[in-house]
Structure 1
Amino acid sequence: MTLFLLLLAQAQAEGVDAHHFTPLPTLGAPLSLVETWRVTSQLPGSFSVSGTMDMSRGNALLVYEDWEGVVETPLLDDVLALNLSAGAALTPRLSVAVMGPLFLRSEGASGQQGAGLGDVRLAAPIGLVIPETTGLALGVVPGLDLPTGDSTQYAGAPGLGLSALVAAGYRAERLSVDLNVGAQRHPAAEATQSAEAIGGAALLLAGGASFAVSQSVGVAAEANLQRALGEGVVRPGEALLSARGLLGTGLTWTAGAGVGLGEAVGAPQWRLFGGVGYARVVDPASDRDLDGVVDDLDACVRKAEVKNGYNDADGCPDALAELDLTVLNDQGEPVVGASLSVDGVTLTTDAQGRLRVPPRAPDAALTTSLTAEGYSPLPIDRATLSEGPQAETLTLPWLPGTVRLIVKDAAGQPVPAVVTLTGPTPQTRQLGAEGREQLVLGAGDWQLLVSAPGKGAEVRQIKLDGVSTALTVVELTLTPPVVELQAKEVVITQAILFDLDAATLRPDAEPILRQVAGLLIQHPELTRVEIQGHTDDQGDAEYNLKLSQARVETVRAWLIASGVDPERLVAQGYGESKPIQPNTTEAGQAANRRVQFVILAQQPPEKKR
């Protein structure tokens, strides 16, 4: 036998864990290996406890010289230990494990020993890739060794130990192959004279294969090796053959044997082991989507539950409601700065009129109110929402009586006009350079007189009921003036045209009449204006007289509808009796077909104070 450790002058190598056998919890899986982690999935609530008796003969000798001469003795020999282990699944991918030996008897450099606890190991296997039936498996296993054993008796390390493993495997129908690669770190035992330090960092390698003899029995072969990093000694290795099985009552059994690989502390000449345990197992096949909800209770057996606090017990990937709101007014314009309060949080629309309600359970009622300056509040009351992303467009109502005034010129450019409002609360507004104003007016009839330097005045009539929340849009186009106030007449520079042989105004007559109405409203001192109608001499004179009268009556009605006081207007048709040019030419006839606005009475204009 090769001597492993040489210490001189009675030097002792205290601080060595010379046992190195840690059966892992099975969680009821017959294909589990003894000391090689196997990536599996178990439902929460699955657990196992077991006790495995272990008998081994040591392979490492302590060699030293005392007054009697050279002495050779095993560090730890004739071990009889009860290896306890327990494991529990917290989630389908995460479990916890605790393992540790209870030494019943052993012999070694310190003589025969009685019962004592060895180092306890804690681990938390995490499954990263778990095949449903066959395929590759991958996980990680962090571990922590607690120095609960007696290091002076070679039954434990002198301090905390850390380890980390990557566990990989392949699952076939009845065969499982697994490999662990990682590292561990234990405190190094103090070197004495020519002895090297024991402990420190080491690479770990373990692997094996298991075969299902039946649904409840599996056999396995595995080996594990260690290689020291930096200062240290040869680390132990061991090969194991084992069998494991399940009984119908939930009891489990394990039996096997092992031999050391090489001559190192913890590598036995031989080892025999066997044990029993109990496992409460929920078969992974009964939770095929690995979401923690058994298939009997899972409404979606192949779609995993999404844990989000909403219907987490039904086993379906229920999604929270994600509501995106777009807030517009009745003109299709985004309402910027509209706000609503949801669960105590105030949300505000952005430049596109959008806001997102934080994800919430679809069955959580959404009761709030959307508000914005210049708008009426819009109640929102949704008893439920749909699952997942959803978009909704809301139209925010205006305050009752909201009027938008837009003034442009013929080229479409804004005009900073003056607006005189006559109605329940008369007022005058000067528009800005953008040529628009938004007003909130009371209920009633309103007259809007719009004028600007170098432009003809325009007038509009609106009626507001004080209830409607729709926007009233008044859009005017101010053009160069075609109406001029002279001493005895309101002169128009363009003809007011009618349909042939009819008293119906042509569309191009209305812009002229709007300017006439605007001028008359601007000048209330014109108390009496005669609207004169004239024709050429074509046709019967009596017919022409009646036609001219009908036409000026149409003009008078149009002006009254535009806000001119009817008491100020007189309509008089003269037919062909007052030509201003000879009717001998077409040009003369066209000039004689005319409408005139003759001032019959006026008062001095009021002086501005």
Structure 2
Amino acid sequence: MRRTAIQLAVVFLLVTGASARAQQDPFARGFDAVPLKATPAQKSGIALEGASPEYTDSFRAALLFDYNHGVLALRLGDEKLGNLLPYRLDAHALFAWQLHRRLEIAADVPFTLVQGDGFQLLRDALNAPDFPGAAGVSRWGFGDVRLQPRFFLLLPEDFPVGLALTTEVRLPTGDGQSFLGERGVLVAPRLAVERAFGPVRLLGNLGLRLRPRPAQYLNLYVGNEVTFGAGAIVDLPDVGRLTDVQALLEMHLATPASAPFNFRQADSLKTPWEVLGGVRARVYGPWGVELDVGRGVTLGSGYGREDVRVLFSVRYEAPFIDSDGDGVPDSQDKCPNEPEDKDGFQDDDGCPEPDNDGDGISDGQDLCPNVAGDAAHGGCLDSDNDGVHDGLDQCPTKPGPKMYDGCPDSDGDEVPDNVDKCPDESGPPENDGCPIDNPPFVVIESDRIRIKGNILFETGSATIQKQSLKLLDEVATVLDRNPALGPVLIEGHTDDIGSDTLNLNLSQRRAQSVMDYLVSKGIASSRLRAKGFGELKPIATNTTALGRAKNRRVEFRLIKAEVETAPRIVPQKSEAGGKTDSGAK
């Protein structure tokens, strides 16, 4: 009689499951009987994801053992006949790497070490050894490999709460017929929120488990699920050799997406609820351990509601600790309390090198810190003996003056060859040392007489070079043909090489020299003024040879007359209609 009742009950379960999903095979299986997994992520809970990132390049590895007792129950009404999966012990190799401050990559490689097979219970109860779906399960085997990137959207140090998005992907590498894995790729996105209150971190997770191929066994249907999780991590005082001690407490809930928190079809569409608690600590260096226990929140065991769950893990955590802030982690830093000087010389060992080239001149004073030199040249060599050491010499194998960065000036246009686009043809610096071929070369503008070129002088003197006289002759021609033009201020400018006083004096003498030449060409001196400004009005940078060449210039500015004419007096008419004189003759 009892056997008949069981057979009728099994038929009822099949009918109930079929009514829930009419097209589903009641013996398809293809789901993991332990759906809630421990997280491989760093700075997280047991299975809860956190939202606080580790430092970049931090790494975590763990070997975790997960024992579940009373995994998949077989019930007849309110009577429990036993467990189809009485126990299961899984091993997980967990890895996590903080690739970037906002991105962590994690993975889980699971393997079931031993699994109990209670399907004989069903066969005996039915007295049907060949009953479909009553075949046993593998005692061991691989589970579904999990890949878990985590994106940190809001960092707790910048916002009131931390926010992260985890996109877990489970690959179907486990045996679904033995309840070790899924029928297809499972995607489980989760949003994690975190808020810290002193030593307490509160965590909350909301997510989905999306199964493209739902699974079923007898009446139990497993499809898409909505998942919830909440918990806390509490920092505790160190205990002896145990450091970084933390207590953990969390609960997890999953419910079918098609019928959340249902009651009518509760026999088919389960809402598993589980609580976990534990403690973790560091025991030696980067090594730590964690012990967690939990169970399903229910009167009896079943899918996602095991009778007892115990998790134990050995953890290796290599956080990116950098005591001296030089970017080299303490684990690799030979000088963890002295910052690396980051000068391109042995920067990977974490130790400063005060004299890279070993020439007795400290790097802070050495103008060539990676090439041995002498003190006379600032710690550098002077390969071409031009008085400009190689650390500043742009042409270290060709002699040239300091004002040209140690480079020659083949065409004599004051634009050194290394920046002169026409090194064999003279041209102004504003044209990169190339000649200007489009006349006129002197143009009258509203506030100046602009010259297309540069007035060149002998080095360090006010003597005008012969090649510049033709340009000055054209300036004189323009002034001669425009007698009303002026007065004209001839401005002299220099670069910043040399003292301020020397440059000011030189610019004044050069401006005066140009004025004297124009006077010699018949331009009245009353129409001209000469003023030197030295290095006070640069038009380009003085840090490059080309910029300094542009600053060494002569400009012609149009100014107002220094003596204004007397006010014009309008003559008054006399009574006789003539004019009266308004001034003495």
The TM-score, its normalising length taken from structure 2, stands at: 0.49
Structure whose alpha-carbon radius of gyration is higher:
1
Give the number of the structure whose residues are more often strand, by fraction.
Answer: 1
The TM-score, its normalising length taken from structure 1, stands at: 0.48
Give the number of the structure whose residues are more often helix, by fraction.
Answer: 2
